[in-house]
Structure 1
Amino acid sequence: MIIAIDGPAAAGKGTLATRLAARLGLPYLDTGLLYRAIGRTMADAGADLDDPEAAGLFARALRPEHLSGDLRGRESGELASRVAVHPPVREALVAFQRDFAARPEGAVLDGRDIGTVICPDADVKLFVTASAEVRARRRTDELAAKGRAVDYERILAEVRERDERDSSRAAAPLKPAPDAVLLDTSALGIDEAFEAAVRIVETAARR
């Protein structure tokens, strides 16, 4: 079974994907880490993140060791969003992601274009979302819990800016696949969202 989970930042798709993979005994790929790693290595090298060809070169040179370290932070997320707009980057990573999904036992992948581009024939497609305000509050609370001074309004502005960038890019824009099931987590806790996702997967498995 291939499960494709898409959605905007801080909607909860990574948590759901991780728990679904564990529940079903499937391998899991957080495809966002690929883009975060490219953005981080480019920034560390002083490269121009807005140069499509340069970004493509870094993408083609991506190695598993580049996926280690702290790639989960807000800064890495912003770097990822900048390089993800470049067609050469997305082209370089398509084969990597499809190979992962083609494992005999299946897989769970989450990202921005899994159900639309990477695995259009996935057995289950989820589009996990939440309002910008809720996602900004989650991100603010997460950073505050780590002892960082954060401003909710600034985080909200960044969330909206990233949504616009991800949704309007020419290459594989963020949008639900026509046959994806929408899961809005705005009013759901982690456990409630997970149980809702499990029900969606079980329903698809019975078809």
Structure 2
Amino acid sequence: GILNNLTLYYPNEPARHKLLDLLGDLALVVKRIKAKIFAIRPGHSANIEFAKKISEYYQRQKKKPPFVYDPSKKPLLDINAIKKVLPHRPPFLLVDKIISISDTEVIGLKNVTMNEPFFTGHFPEEPVMPGVLQVEAMAQTGGILILHNVEHPEDYSTYFLKIDNVKFKKKVVPGDTLIFRLELISPVRRGIAIMKGEAYVDDTLVAQGEFTAQISKNKI
């Protein structure tokens, strides 16, 4: 209500007050919101509940991979084509397929099976794919992205200079299908590429990191 001993600065000052309350409460989401919001008799309690719903929705969307994998679709590069790009060979070739590739992004895949040699010792009773090999698999996928933008890629190799902000979210075990997404953070300059990498199993993010690599011409 309006106190009789106060003079309003604006005829719609109560509505302005409610609007500012709503904006302040939605700031709890800590994300930019681009939307049309219709509020009928809003209050702090309702506003905060609304902000929680937006935050929960954002977190659910954030966990979803930014791609759709269709196993029935023919890969862009199979293992034989990958071997023509990368110098790695089994058991250290850790990418089975390339699903899609552009100038700035690549999606790769590895089927993790019980036949992997590292499961013999890591660990016999509870096999888990070593995190360092998940990082290596992402790096190999990123190498394919970098060489995709180079003329005569067979004449070049990529060497990783730095890996930052690596996090492991969940164990990777036999039977999982790892899907890697590598994206250039900035254009390649002076042979240096910086990429953001993510690894997913189903819709779950299991590992991530940032990679800095150098493109070098092979010695003949």
Q: Which has the larger share of strand?
A: 2
Bigger relative contact order, structure 1 or 2 (CA pairs below 8 A, ≥6 apart): 1
Q: Which has the larger share of helix?
A: 1
Larger radius of gyration: 2
Which band: TM-score by shorter chain? under 0.3
TM-score (norm. length: structure 1): 0.24
TM-score (norm. length: structure 2): 0.23
